Amino acid sequence: MGMVKDPARVEAIAENIADAQAVKGRSLWQDAMGRFFHNKAAVGSVFVLAGILLFTLIGPFFAVWSNEEIDWARMANVADVGAPSIENGHFFGLDSLGRDLYSRVIQGTLTSMMVGVVGASVAVVIGTLYGAVSGFVGGWVDNVMMRTVDILIAIPYMFVIILLMVIFERSLFMLFVGIGLFSWLDMSRIVRGQTLSLKQKEFIEAARAAGVGWFVIVVRHIMPNLLGVVVVYATLLVPGMIMAESFISFLGLGVQEPNTSLGALISDGAGTIMYDQIWQLAIPLTFFLSIVISLFFIGDGLRDALDPKDR
Amino acid sequence: MKMTSKTLVGALLATTMMASPLLAAGTHPSTGEALADDQSFTYRLLDEHSSVDPQIVEDTSGADIVRDLFEGLYNQDAAGNLVPGVALSHTTNDAKDVYTFTLRDNAKWSNGDAVTAGDFVYGWRRLIDPTTASPYAWFGELMSIEGAGAILAGDADPSTLGVTAVDDHTLEVKLTASLPYFALMTTHGSTFPTHQATVEAHGDQWTKPENIVSNGAYVLTEHVPSERSVRERNPMYWNNDATILETITSLVINDENVALTRYFAGELDKTEVPSGQYPKLNAEYPDQAHSNPRLCNYYYTFNMSGNGNPAFDDIRVREALSLAVDRNVITDAVLQGGQFPAYTFTPGLTAGFVTPDVPSASMTQAERDAKAMALMAEAGYGADNPLKFDMLYNTSEGHKKIAIAMSQMWKQKLGAEAVLANQEWKTFLETRGNQGFELARGAWCGDYNEASTFLDLLDSGSGYNDGKFNSARVDELLMMAKTSSDTQPLYTEIEQIIANEIPVIPVYHYTRVMMLQEDVKGWPFLNIEQNVYSKDLYVVAE
Amino acid sequence: MLNYVIRRLLIAVPTLLILIIICFYLMQTAPGGPFTSERPLPPQVLANIEAKYGLDQPHYKQLYNYVVGIVTQFDFGPSYQYKDRSVNDIISQGFPVTLTYGFISFVVATIIGVSLGIVAAIRHNTALDYIAVGATFSAQALPNFVMAPILIYVFTLKLGLLPGGGWNGGQWQYLIMPVIALSTSFFASVARITRSSMLEVLNSNFIRTARAKGLSDRTIIWRHAMKPTLMPVVSYLGPAFVGMITGSVVIDMYFSTGGIGRFYVNSALNRDYAVMLGLTILYGGLTVLFNLVTDVLYAWLDPKIRY
C-alpha cells in the first residue's frame, strides 16, 4: 500500500506531461502584432500606404514624360488640353506650366514621404528622450530643460530656415535638418507631461525601491508606457511635417525646382481652381489625404495594439 | 413767413442748380456721359506700401497713392504728355542748364496754406539731405541738380542745393550739365513739395491720416496697414471742381487669384490679371480686360566681373544661350498678356526711341536655334560635355515659370543644364549685388520716359550694373547723350554694342495687364509709364 | 501652487532675455539688411540711415539700448519698412485682430475636437467613430492655404454671402471664414488625442472599478474619466497655440485681416529688425504664458503631480 492510489494512472499522466509540448510563450510584441492585424482599418491602411509606395517606385517605368519636361505644344492652353488623358501620355494631366503631372506627383510623393518620415523620426527619438528625462528627473533640471524648449519654440523658425537655406545652399538634406530642428520640441512637451503622471505610479515606486538607476527606469519602464501617446502623436507629425514643408515651399524656400513635393503641388493646384484645372489640385490632394488618413488608422491601430493595459 | 409752393420749388431748384457742379450725379463736363451717383473706386494692392511721404516712397503702389495726395510741378495727361500741375510753364536758357518754373498762385495745401516755391525748395532739399535717409536721394543726383553730389557725400549742407525760390511763385533750378529732358523728371513723386511746418511738427508720424497735410486732389483719411488705405476729395485743391471721383480705397490682397475672385464678386473695381489668364478673360470680358505697354524690361544678366562662370567668358556661349531662348513662347505661352518679345534692352515704345535692328530679331526661331547649336558646338559643348551653370531669380510664381521655361529650352536645344536657384528678395539682392551669381534675373522700370533711364544701367560705373559690364565706348556714348540734342544715333549704337557683346539676355518688355470695371472711365491706357491720376477718373452711370 | 506660478513668471524674464539675444544675433547673420534694395543707396546716405537708427553701433550696445527702451518706455523701436509706423503701432493694430480670430478659432476647435473625440471613443470602432474622425481629419489635412481660396470662392463669389476679406473693425461677417480656415487646422488633432486618451482611460482599472460598482456611463465619463482624458489634450494645447500663430500668417495673407502673422513673415523677409524682435518677444511671452497655464491645468487635473 502507498500514498498514491492509482500508480498506473499517475504514471500515465506523468508521461503525458513530459511528452506534452511545452506551452509556447507569447512575447508582448507577438501579442501586439496579433491585435494589430485584427484591426481591419489599420491593416487596410497599411496596404494603401504600401500601394502608394509601390506606385512611386514602379510608376516611373510607365511614364511617358519626365518630371521637368515642358510639353511645348500644349503649354499655352492647359485649361483646354491639359486634362488627364491616356492618349497623350499625360495620365494625370498637365500642371500650369505644361509639365507632366504624373511624373511630378510620383517624385513629389516620394519627396514628401521622406520628409515626413525623417522629420517625424527625429522628433520621436530626440523629443521622447528629452521629454522623458526632463519629466522624470524633475526639479530644476526639468525647469531648465523646459524653459530651453520654450525659448526654442519662440524663435522664429522662418528666420532660421532662411539662414540655413542661404548659408548651406538649398538642398533636401538641409530641409530635413531645418524641419528636424523644430519638430522635436512639441513632442518633448507632451512626453514630459505624460511622464509627470507616470512617475507617480506604483510600479515606478517599486522600481525605485528596488534600486534601479534613474536612466534605466526612464528607458525600460517609462518609455514603453509612453508608446501610446508617442505613436499617436508621431502619426500626427508625419502629415504635419509634410505640411510644414509645403508652407516652406509656399514661402519660396523649400524643395528647389524642378523637383517638387506634394505640398508644393497642392499649393500650385490651389491657385488654379478658378480656372477649371481641378485635376491639378485633386490628384496631389488625393495622394496626400490617402497618406495622411492611412497614417491615422495605422497610428490608432498601433496604439490599440501596444497599450499594455488593454485586456 | 409763408412759403408758397412756388417759392419752395424755386428754392429747391436753385439749390440743386447751385450744388450741381459738386453733385456726383450729373454729366461729365467734356464728354457728356451720365455720371453714377456713387463715385468711388476700389482697387487691389499686392502688398503694403512703405510710406506716403513723397521723398521716401519707393514702390509703385506707394507712388500711385502719393500722386493722388500730392502734386508736383507738372502732371501727365492720359497719353503721357506734360500738363501744368503746380507749375504753369517753364523757361530754360540756351545751355539748358538753368530751368525757371512759374507757379500758379491759387494752389493750396489741404489746411488752406498757399503752395509756394519755397515748399518745393524744402522738398527737394529734404530729398537730398542725408539725414532724411531717402531711398530716392540718388534721383536728385540723377536730375543733375547743382550741389547734389556734394550734399549726398555729406560734404555740403543741403541749403547749397541748386534750387532757389526767386519769389513765392518762381522756382529756379541750376543743373550741373545740360539736360534737355529735365522737365520730364518733375512728374516723379520724389520731386513733389512737402509742407514744412507739418513735417517739423510731427517728424516721422507726419504722414498719418490725422497729421498729414497735402496739396493734391485727395487727402488721406484712413490707413490700416496691410488691410486698406482710403483717400477722399480735397476741397482745397486748386482744380477741385474738375475732380469727379470722391473716394478711392486700396485693399491689400496678396494672392492674385483671390483678388480676381473678389473682383468678380464685385468687391474690387480693378485688379491684376494672373499670368496666363488674359486670353480667356479677354475673350469672355473684352471690355474689362486690358493689356497696355509698360515702361519696363525683363532680362537675365551674365556675371562679367571675372568671378562668374568661366564658360561665360566665351562670347559664343553667351550668344548661343541668348539665341536659344524662344521669346515668343514666353510671351505667348507662359505670360500670355500681350507682352513684347525683346531683343534690345530699351523698350521699343520709350518716348523718342526707335528700336534699332539687331540681327537676332529678324531671324526665325529655327534659324536662331540652328545658329545657337552651331555656336555651342564650336565652343566645345555638347552631349558629352554639357554646359552647367546656375540661374538665379527671386522667389515669385511668375519668375519661376519663365526660368523653368528658359532652362528647358536650353536643355532641349543645347543640352545645357541650368541649375535653378531661387532666393527670397533681400537675399537675392545681396547675392546679385555682390556678384555672387553666374546668370541672374533682372528687370527695370523707367523712372522717366527716355531711353537713358534704361541704358544708364549698363554704364560701368553705375551702382545698378550688377553684371559689371564694362565697355568704354558705352560709357562714352552715355556721357555724350546727356548733352546731345540728337540722342537716337547714340542710343542705337549702344544697343548694337549690347547686341554684339551680349552682357544681358533681354527677354521681354512689360505690359500692364489688368481687369477694370467697364463703368470706370478716364484710365490712361496710352501712358506707357502708367502714371494714373485718380482725379482724371470717373464712374459712369449704368 | 502660487509659489510655483510666481517662480515660473520670474523665470520668464530671463527666458525672454535669452530669446531676444538669440534672435538678435540670428538676424545679424541673415544676408541683406533692411535697406538692401534694387536701387542701392549711396554710401553716405546709407551711413546716415544707419546712424539715425543706431545700426552703426556695436551689437551689444544696440541690444542694450533696445532692452532699456522696452523696460523704461515700453518702446519697441521703429519699423524700417513702414516708415511712419513704430513697432508699438503695428502691434497695437495687428495683435487685437489676431487675438480675436485666433482665440475664437481656438475655442471652436477645442470644443468641437473634444466633443468629437469623446463621441468617437464611446462609440469606438463603429461607423460613427470612423466617420467622425475621418471627416475631421480630412478637414485638417486640407492645408489652410488651399481652404482659404476655396472658402472665398464659394462664400464670396458663388454665394455672395460673406465679404471676401478685410477686417473692418472685427464685424462678425469678417470673422467667419478666418475662423473656419484656422480652426479646421487643428480640431482633428484635438479630436484624435482626446479619442485615444479617452480610450486608454476607459480601459484603466479605476474605470473598471466604477463600472463594477454599477455607476452609469454618464457618471463614469463626466465625473471620472474626463480629467485624466484631458491631460494629453492640455499638453497638446501649447503646440496647438504655436501652430495657430503660424497658421494665422496664411489667414492674414488670404483674408487681408491686417493681423500680426503677416507682419511677422514680412519682417523676416524685409529684415525689419525691430518688428521682428518685437513680435518674437510677443510670441515668446505668449508661449511662456500659455505653457504656464497648461502646466497649472495639468496639475489641477492630476492631483498626484507635484511641481
Instruction: Tell me if residue B1 falls in helix, strand or coil.
Output: coil
Percent of chain C whose pLDDT exceeds 70 = 99
- Helix A172-198, helix A101-122: angle, nearest 10: 40
**Nearest-angstrom CA–CA distance, A136 and A200:** 10
Percent of chain A with pLDDT over 90: 7
Q: At what angle do helices A101-122 and A279-306 cross, to 10 degrees?
A: 30
pLDDT digits (tens, 9 = 90+) for A107-126: 999 988 888 888 888 888 88
Cα end-to-end span (Å), chain C: 8
Minimum Cα–Cα distance from C79: chain B residue:
B50
The whole-number average pLDDT for the span B233-254 is 92
φ and ψ at residue B195, rounded to 5 degrees: -85, 110
Chain B: residue whose CA lies nearest to A252: B395
Strands B289-302 and B504-516: antiparallel
B36 CB within 8 Å of a chain A CB: no
B417 and chain A in contact, CB less than 8 A: no
Please tell me the distance from the alpha carbon of residue B352 to that of residue A287, in angstroms, as a whole number: 57
Whether residue A281 contacts residue A266, with contact meaning beta carbons closer than 8 Å, is answered with yes
For B315-342, how does the pLDDT look when each residue is reduced to its tens digit (9 = 90+)? 999 999 999 999 999 999 888 888 999 9
User: What's the maximum distance between 2 C-alpha atoms anywhere in chain B?
Assistant: 105
Q: What angle do CA B45, B46, B51 make, to 5 degrees?
A: 65
Compute the distance between CA of residue B400 and CA of residue B412 in angstroms, rounded to an integer. Answer: 18
**What residue segments make up the domains of chain A, in order of their start?**
34-306
* Integer Cα distance of C32 and C307 in angstroms: 46
**Does position C183 have pLDDT exceeding 60, yes or no?**
yes
Q: Does C156 touch chain A if contact means CB atoms closer than 8 Å?
A: no
CB contact (8 A) between residue B429 and residue C37:
yes
pLDDT of residue A4: 67
- State the pLDDT at residue C146: 82
State yes or no: pLDDT of C165 exceeds 80. yes
> Mean pLDDT across chain C, nearest whole number?
83
Backbone angles phi, psi at B272, to 5 degrees: -80, 155
pLDDT of B17 > 70? The answer is: no
Q: How far is B136 from B58, CA to CA, in rounded Å?
A: 7
Residue C36 at interface with chain A, using a CB cutoff of 8 Å: no
Closest CA in chain B for residue A95 = B401
pLDDT exceeds cutoff 70 at C259 = yes
- pLDDT, tens only, B333-369: 888 888 999 999 999 889 888 888 888 889 999 999 9
* Whole-Å CA distances, A169 to A173, A182, A253: 10, 19, 11
Please tell me the number of Cα atoms within 13 Å of C172 on its side-chain side. Answer: 0
Return the partners of chain C (3 or more C-beta pairs < 8 Å).
A, B
If you average pLDDT over residues C243-269, what whole number do you get?
83
Residues in Cβ contact with B17 at an 8 Å cutoff, skipping those fewer than 6 apart? none
Amino acid identity for residue B304 in this structure: M
* Confidence (pLDDT) at A24: 57
Q: What is the pLDDT of residue A156?
A: 67
Q: What angle do CA C30, C33, B456 make, to 5 degrees?
A: 125
Which chains have 3 or more CB–CB distances shorter than 8 Å to chain A?
A: B, C
Q: Which chain A residues have a beta carbon less than 8 Å from that of C124?
A: none
Residue C161, classed as helix, strand or coil, is coil
* Rounded distance between C-alpha atoms, residue C278 and residue C88, angstroms: 8
* Confidence tier at A177 by pLDDT (50, 70, 90): confident
Say which range, A124-128, A151-155, B49-53, C109-113, has the weakest mean pLDDT.
A151-155
Window from B89-93, B115-119, C84-88 with minimum mean pLDDT: C84-88
In this structure, are residues A79 and B280 in contact, taking their beta carbons and an 8 Å threshold?
yes
The minimal CB distance from B262 to the residues C32, C156, C253 is found for: C156
Q: What is the pLDDT of residues B462-479, one digit of tens each?
A: 878 888 899 999 999 998
Q: Note whether C229 and C194 are within 8 A (CB).
A: yes
Q: How confident is the model at residue C86 (pLDDT cuts 50, 70, 90)?
A: confident
C178: cis peptide before it, omega within 30°? no
Count of CB atoms within 10 A of residue B415's CB? 16
Query: Comparing C123 with B298, which gets the higher pLDDT?
Result: B298
Pick among B257, B260, B409, B426 to test the A interface (most A CBs inside 10 A): B257
Tell which wins on pLDDT, B154 or B326: B326
Compute φ and ψ for B478, nearest 5 degrees: -65, -40
Q: Which range in C177-191, C237-251, C283-297 is most confidently predicted, on average pLDDT?
A: C177-191
Question: Distances in Å between the alpha carbon of A143 and those of A226, B130, B180?
Answer: 21, 50, 73
Residue the block writes with cell 502708367: B530
- Residue B99: strand, helix, or coil: strand
Residue A76: is it exposed, middle or buried by C-beta count within 10 angstroms (0-12/13-18/19+)? middle
Contact A202, A225 (CB under 8 A): no
Q: Are A97 and B404 in contact (CB < 8 Å)? A: yes
Kindly state the average pLDDT of the residues C72-80.
85
Q: Cell numbers of B408, please?
A: 528647358
A289/chain B closest Cα distance in angstroms: 24
Nearest to A49 by CA among A299, A231, A303: A299
B18: confidence class by pLDDT, cuts 50, 70, 90: very low
Other CB atoms within 10 Å distance of the CB of residue B406? 27
Range from A234-248, B216-230, C43-57 that averages highest in pLDDT: B216-230
Q: Which residue has the higher pLDDT, B217 or A297?
A: B217
User: B: neighbours with 3+ CB pairs under 8 Å?
Assistant: A, C
Supply the pLDDT for residue B511.
92
CA B204 to chain centre: 25
Q: Where are the beta strands (DSSP E) in B279-435?
A: 289-302, 340-341, 388-394, 417-423
Mean pLDDT confidence for B286-313: 92
Q: What are phi and psi of B194, to 5 degrees?
A: -130, 150
**Helix-strand-coil percent breakdown of chain C, rounded to 5?**
75, 0, 20
The phi, psi pair for B280, rounded to 5°, reads -65, -45
Chain C contact present for B141, CB below 8 A: yes
pLDDT band at A18 (very low <50, low <70, confident <90, very high): low
C46 pLDDT above the threshold of 90: no
The pLDDT tens digits for C23-44 are 888 878 777 788 877 777 777 7
CATH class belonging to A34-306: mainly alpha
Task: Report which of residues B1 and B94 the model is more confident about.
Answer: B94
Q: Is the CB of B153 less than 8 angstroms away from the CB of C30?
A: no
Cα–Cα distance for residue pair B26/B34, rounded to 1 Å: 6
The nearest CA of chain B is from the CA of C34 a distance in Å of: 8
Helix (H, G, I), strand (E, B) or coil at B349: coil
Give the β-pairing of B439-445 and B388-394. Answer: parallel
Of C83, C152, C167, the CB nearest to B56: C83
| CA–CA min distance B237, chain A (Å) | 43
CB contact under 8 A, A98 and B424: no
**A289/C193 Cβ within 8 A:** no
SS3 call for B36: coil
In this model, does residue C246 exceed pLDDT 80?
Answer: no
* SS3 of residue C178 by DSSP: helix
CB A158 within 8 A of CB A252: no
Residue A162 pLDDT level (bands cut at 50, 70, 90): low
- Please spell the DSSP secondary structure of B197-218, one letter per residue: HHHHHHGGGGGSTTT----SSE
Nearest-angstrom CA–CA distance, A297 and A53: 17
CA distance C176 to chain B (A): 16
What is the spatial distance between Cα B266 and Cα B38, in angstroms, rounded to a whole number?
14
**Residue B540: strand pairing partners:** B35
Residues of C in contact with A193 (CB under 8 A): 231-232, 234-235, 298
Q: List, for residues B166-193, the tens digit of each pLDDT value.
A: 999 999 999 988 888 889 899 999 999 9
Cα separation, B449 vs B67, in Å, equals: 17
Cα distance between residue B145 and residue B188, in whole Å: 15
Is the pLDDT assigned to residue C63 strictly greater than 90? no
| Alpha helices by DSSP H, C165-225 | 172-183, 187-202, 205-212, 217-219
For residue B222, give the 3-state DSSP assignment: strand
Average pLDDT over residues B374-402: 89
Mean per-residue pLDDT for B298-310? 91
Whole-angstrom Cα distance, residue C60 to residue A46?
55
Cα–Cα distances in Å, from B340 out to A76, B78, B332, B510? 16, 22, 9, 7
CB of C23 within 8 Å of a chain A CB? The answer is yes
Are B333 and A68 within 8 A, CB to CB?
Answer: no
C-alpha cell at C229: 482624458
- In the predicted model, is pLDDT for residue C224 greater than 50? yes
CA neighbor of B503 nearest in space, from B328, B313, B361: B313
Element of type H or E holding B514: strand B504-516
Alpha-carbon torsion A184, A190, A196, A198, what sign? negative
Higher pLDDT, A156 or B527: B527
**DSSP strand E in B399-486: where?**
417-423, 439-445
In the A/C pair of chains, how many CB contacts fall below 8 A?
Answer: 158
pLDDT confidence of residue B6: 52
Could you say which of A68, A96, A274 has the minimum Cβ distance to residue B261? Answer: A274
Give the C-alpha separation, B365 to B363, whole Å. 6
Q: Which of B130, B205, B426 sits opposite C84 (nearest CB)?
A: B205
Residue B537's identity, in one-letter code, is L
Q: Which three cell numbers stand for residue B294?
A: 509698360
Average pLDDT, chain B: 88
pLDDT of res. B219: 95
User: How many residues are recorded in chain B?
Assistant: 542
Q: What is the mean pLDDT of residues B282-307?
A: 92
pLDDT tens figures, A45-101: 899 999 999 999 998 888 888 888 888 888 888 888 888 888 888 888 888 888 999
Predicted pLDDT at B2:
47
Percent of chain B scoring above 70 in pLDDT: 95
Chain A hits for B422, Cβ within 8 Å: 252, 256-257
Q: Hey, which residues 115-154 in chain C have their CB within 8 Å of chain A?
A: 130, 133-134, 137-138, 141-143, 145-146, 149-150, 153
Residues whose CB is less than 8 angstroms from the CB of residue B156 and which lie 6 or more positions away in sequence, other chains included = B147, B150
Contact between A228 and C196 using a beta-carbon 8 Å cutoff: yes
- CA A304 vs. chain centroid, Å, equals 17
Region class of B352: left (phi > 0), else alpha (psi between -120 and 50), else beta: left
Number of B/C CB contacts below 8 angstroms equals 147
Q: What is the pLDDT of residue A168?
A: 64
**Cell 436753385 identifies what position?**
B14
Q: Please tell me which of the candidates B53, B228, B426 has its beta carbon nearest to residue C83.
A: B53
* Sign of the dihedral defined by the CA atoms of residues A60, A61, A67, A73, in that order: negative
Instruction: Indicate yes or no: pTM above 0.80.
Output: yes
Q: List phi, psi (to 5°) of B483.
A: -115, 0
